[in-house]
């Protein structure tokens, strides 16, 4: 039985109400045709993403981290401890409505995304840990995501018994199918795995750009209306807090610097296509309305903030390199003077 009928819709942005305010009927925030196309495109994106993720998985490396699980355990605690708690605190702090809070929570409880692997590479992190962390967080999401939503939704009385956990779990099970296909390709046809990943990423980016363009055309005005200053602030703060807290958390447990940077990227980068797909598939349109577009705004924020952090890290590296070269040059000059004497 679907309990989403008990959910209270977000404001009245997608409802028509009579002057007497006695009747109302559902009016889609986005043209139904464009909405269906967006749903299909996001489904294609998540399939390509998960197959590509599977193509990066190596069972032997996963086994190694399971045998020495310190780094992986800390990373998993950061992923499923920091982000959901951050999302909950921001929702309560900005006093959002219950259904809006659930949307933010779904985003905060999602596993790490494939973009985090690219970010970890750019910031010179531990790529093995990054790939294993993304893989394991995706598998763990099957149990952790519904559990965390159940726990945190106790803070939203009107929705605590109405979140569609069954539909969410079904969506998570279905994403493991393309991921398994990727693992099979990696195991039995490893020569094709890198090619598929490269081609898949290009196709995914093209479709993503097309999807964002459709969203801008079909519902750009809705985004401007729906995205209150509070939601925009949350979309900006969540990934940044994830990056910072992920680094601090891994530093407390004394992981090496490469692993700290990896955990930071993996914590702040969420699987936005998965979040959008869940919101589109599990929740009725009349309930979630245009709020399914929130993860798209989050995606822009997490990429821009990650790029800023990577740029600052590269500048710091260059500064330290120059400082080291200056010190070595000065030390060499002193040695030459001593030898002349």
Alpha carbon distance 305, 307 (integer Å): 5
- C-alpha distances (whole Å) from 14 to each of 26, 109, 286, 290 are 7, 26, 8, 8
Q: What is the pLDDT of residue 14?
A: 38
| Nearest Cα to Cα of residue 127 among 262, 9, 18, 19 | 262
Angle at 338 between CA 333 and CA 340, to 5 degrees: 95
* 0.85 exceeded by pTM: no
Q: What is the pLDDT of residue 160?
A: 59
For residues 91 and 234, is the Cβ–Cβ distance under 8 A?
yes
Q: What is the pLDDT of residue 3?
A: 52
Beta strands in the chain (DSSP E): 15-17, 24-26
Tokens 């093209």 correspond to: 206
In order along its 341 residues, the chain shows pLDDT tens digits of: 445 444 444 443 334 333 333 344 445 555 667 667 767 777 787 788 778 777 776 777 767 777 777 777 887 888 888 899 999 999 999 988 888 888 899 899 888 876 787 788 788 888 778 877 877 887 788 888 888 888 888 877 766 566 666 767 776 777 778 878 888 888 888 888 878 877 877 787 787 777 767 666 665 555 555 667 888 899 999 999 999 999 999 899 888 888 889 889 988 888 887 888 788 777 777 777 778 778 888 888 888 898 899 899 889 888 887 777 666 655 565 554 555 54
Angle at 216 between CA 211 and CA 217, to 5 degrees: 95
For residues 58 and 214, is the Cβ–Cβ distance under 8 A?
no
Decide: helix, strand or coil at residue 18: coil
Q: What is the pLDDT of residue 144?
A: 87
Each residue's pLDDT tens digit, 268-310: 888 887 888 788 777 777 777 778 778 888 888 888 898 899 8
């Amino acid at each position: 039985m679907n309990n989403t009928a008990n959910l209270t819709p977000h404001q009245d942005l997608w409802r028509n109400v009579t002057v007497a305010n006695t009747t109302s009927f559902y009016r889609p925030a986005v043209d139904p045709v464009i909405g269906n196309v967006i749903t299909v495109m996001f489904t294609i994106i998540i399939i390509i993403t998960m197959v590509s993720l599977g193509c990066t998985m190596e069972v032997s490396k996963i086994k190694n981290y399971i045998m020495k699980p310190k780094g992986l355990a800390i990373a998993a605690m950061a992923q499923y401890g920091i982000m959901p708690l951050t999302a909950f605190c921001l929702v309560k702090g900005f006093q959002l409505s219950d259904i809006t809070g659930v949307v933010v929570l779904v985003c905060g409880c999602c596993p790490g995304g494939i973009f985090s692997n690219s970010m970890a590479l750019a910031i010179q992190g531990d790529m093995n840990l990054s790939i294993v962390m993304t893989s394991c967080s995706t598998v763990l999401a099957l149990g952790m995501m519904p559990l965390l939503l159940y726990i945190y939704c106790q803070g939203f009385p009107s929705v605590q018994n109405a979140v569609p956990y069954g539909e969410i779990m079904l969506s998570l099970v279905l994403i493991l199918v393309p991921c398994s296909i990727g693992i099979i390709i990696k195991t039995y046809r490893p020569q094709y795995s890198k090619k598929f990943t490269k081609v898949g990423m290009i196709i995914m980016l093209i479709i993503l750009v097309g999807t964002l363009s459709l969203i801008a055309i079909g519902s750009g005005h809705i985004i401007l209306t729906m995205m209150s200053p509070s939601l925009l602030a949350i979309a900006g703060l969540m990934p940044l807090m994830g990056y910072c807290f992920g680094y601090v958390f891994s530093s407390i447990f004394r992981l090496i610097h490469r692993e700290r940077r990896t955990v930071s990227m993996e914590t702040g980068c969420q699987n936005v296509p998965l979040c959008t797909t869940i919101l589109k598939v599990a929740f009725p349109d009349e309930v979630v309305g245009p709020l399914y577009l929130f993860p798209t705004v989050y995606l822009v924020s997490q990429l821009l903030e990650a790029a800023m952090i990577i740029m600052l890290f590269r500048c710091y590296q260059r500064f330290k390199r120059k400082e080291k070269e200056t010190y070595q040059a000065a030390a060499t000059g002193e040695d030459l003077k001593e030898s002349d004497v």
